[in-house]
Amino acid sequence: MLSLRHALRLFAILYAIAFPVQAAQHINVLLYHHVSANTPPATSVSPDTFAGHMQYLHEHGYQVIDLGQALSLIQAKQELPANSVAITFDDAWRNIYTNALPIMEEYNYPFTVFVNTDPVDQNNGMAMTWDMLRDIKQRGGTLANHTRDHDYLVRKADYNQQWLADTLANIDFAQQRLQTETGSTPRWLAYPYGEYNQALKQALKARGYLAFGQHSGGIAAFSDWQALPRFPAAGPYSNLKTLRLKLASQPMPVDYQALPDTVIRLDQAANNPPTLSVKMLQQEKKGVRDQLRCFILGTAQTPTWQSQQHWQVSAAQALPSGRSRYNCTAPVWGQNNYYWLSQQWLVYKH
Ligand SMILES: [Zn+2]
């Protein structure tokens, strides 16, 4: 005779076979700055729009999880819950405390704030205070490094020893302030403006930092851990019609370590427009290769395939001074979503 307990157990086993727990190997991270209706539109979402984003995640099966936990799982090549998302805020604006924190607590969503420590130390009225930051941490938030002063890190005449020493001192100073004021702090840096170069990445790697940019895409084991992407979700990127495609996307499986350096000097005209050369980690089906597109300066470009795994693309004209991005997508074979790859470039004249 089958007891109720055994019947339930049998049911649980059959259910698990019929509906396997979905898992993923990547996470998509959203990037916000201001959550306010009265701050610069390009880097802001209104509290209503932000609440709409969180409600969308809640209602569409997304698992908002702790960024540190997610990164540990990915690095250990373990599986994450399907549809994992992490939420980050750069700059530690006070409106995160007043406007975003209550919404995050309503959903019980963890989040990370990347802090510039000088404005907090100066108690400038715009940034959170150390008391607010400690409170955020006590309520389940994570605090991490966004340099002390939010200066441009790679808009310099020379990338010499002095530049590197000054830059690392800036980052280490912020790390020390966070540790002193709030306790244990992960060695994560968000590059101001998402700007970095190869030399800085290597130095950060040697010091045990993971680092985040502002180019879009998801994070997987094959990511460049000193140039981790995030999807900007404010200003022009806050529209759920496009944000939902990004949330559902997967990181394009390419050799991220081999992507070209991001900085182009304005006086090196021969390098502008830059060529993005990419090596896929696997042979993609022809249907995927044929549908690869890159969106550059508002137009779609069809990359050139050199082999079944190598392709390249460049803008039709020289990139303007400042930051630009190449955003590339291709359909994931057999799935209703996209691979995503983005490279940010910085063209500047010192
Ligand atoms: Zn910032």
Q: Give the distance (Å) from ligand 1 centre to CA of residue 336.
A: 33
The residues pairing with 43 across neighbouring beta strands, listed in sequence order, are none
Task: Name the pLDDT band for 11 (thresholds 50, 70, 90).
Answer: low
Length of the chain in terms of residues written:
350
pLDDT average, residue stretch 40-44: 95
Residues 6 or more apart whose Cβ sits within 8 Å of residue 130: 120, 181, 182
Instruction: Decide if pLDDT at 126 tops 90.
Output: yes
Residues 52 and 191 in one domain: yes
Residues 82 and 217 in one domain: yes
Q: Give the distance (Å) from ligand 1 centre to CA of residue 63.
A: 25
DSSP state of 179: H
Q: Give the distance (Å) from ligand 1 centre to CA of residue 64.
A: 22
Q: Which residues sit with Cβ closer than 5 angstroms to ligand 1, an ion?
A: 90-91
Residue 206 included in any domain: yes
Q: What is the CATH number of the domain that holds 264?
A: 2.60.40.10
pLDDT average, residue stretch 71-99: 97
Q: Give the distance (Å) from ligand 1 centre to CA of residue 334.
A: 38
Q: Give the distance (Å) from ligand 1 centre to CA of residue 213.
A: 10
Angle at 245 between CA 62 and CA 37, to 5 degrees: 80
Q: Give the distance (Å) from ligand 1 centre to CA of residue 30.
A: 14
Residue-averaged pLDDT of the chain = 93
Residues 269 and 212 in one domain: no
Q: Give the distance (Å) from ligand 1 centre to CA of residue 79.
A: 30
Residue 8 included in any domain: no
Share of the chain above pLDDT 70, in %: 93
Residues 51 and 182 in one domain: yes
Using CA atoms, how far residue 237 sits from 49, 94, 242, 324, in Å, is 11, 22, 7, 15
Q: Would you state the pLDDT for residue 7?
A: 63
pLDDT digits (tens, 9 = 90+) for 234-265: 999 999 999 999 999 999 999 999 999 999 98
Instruction: Decide if pLDDT at 349 tops 90.
Output: no
Residue 26 included in any domain: yes
Q: What is the CATH number of the domain that holds 84?
A: 3.20.20.370
Residues 189 and 266 in one domain: no
Q: How far apart are CA 131 and CA 115, in angstroms?
A: 13
Q: Give the distance (Å) from ligand 1 centre to CA of residue 116.
A: 8
Residues 243 and 311 in one domain: no
pLDDT average, residue stretch 72-92: 97
Q: Would you state the pLDDT for residue 5?
A: 62
Tokens representing 163? 């530049």
**Which of 232, 250, 268 corresponds to the end of one domain?**
250
Residues 144 and 184 in one domain: yes
List the single range of 164-168, 190-194, 271-275, 325-329 with lowest mean pLDDT: 271-275
Residues 178 and 317 in one domain: no
Q: Give the distance (Å) from ligand 1 centre to CA of residue 193.
A: 6
Q: Would you state the pLDDT for residue 65?
A: 97
pLDDT average, residue stretch 175-182: 98
Residues 50 and 173 in one domain: yes
The residues pairing with 44 across neighbouring beta strands, listed in sequence order, are 34
Q: Identify the domain containing residue 142 by its residue range.
A: 22-250
Q: Give the distance (Å) from ligand 1 centre to CA of residue 305.
A: 36
Residues 172 and 87 in one domain: yes
C-beta contacts of 125-131 below 8 A and 24+ residues apart: 125/94, 126/93, 126/94, 127/91, 127/92, 127/93, 127/94, 128/92, 128/93, 128/94, 128/96, 128/97, 130/181, 130/182
Residue 17 included in any domain: no
Q: Would you state the pLDDT for residue 161?
A: 96
Q: Give the distance (Å) from ligand 1 centre to CA of residue 17.
A: 46
Q: How many domains does the chain have?
A: 2
Q: How far apart are CA 319 and CA 346, in angstroms?
A: 9
Q: Is the pTM of this model over 0.75?
A: yes
Q: Would you state the pLDDT for residue 268?
A: 74
Residue 1 included in any domain: no
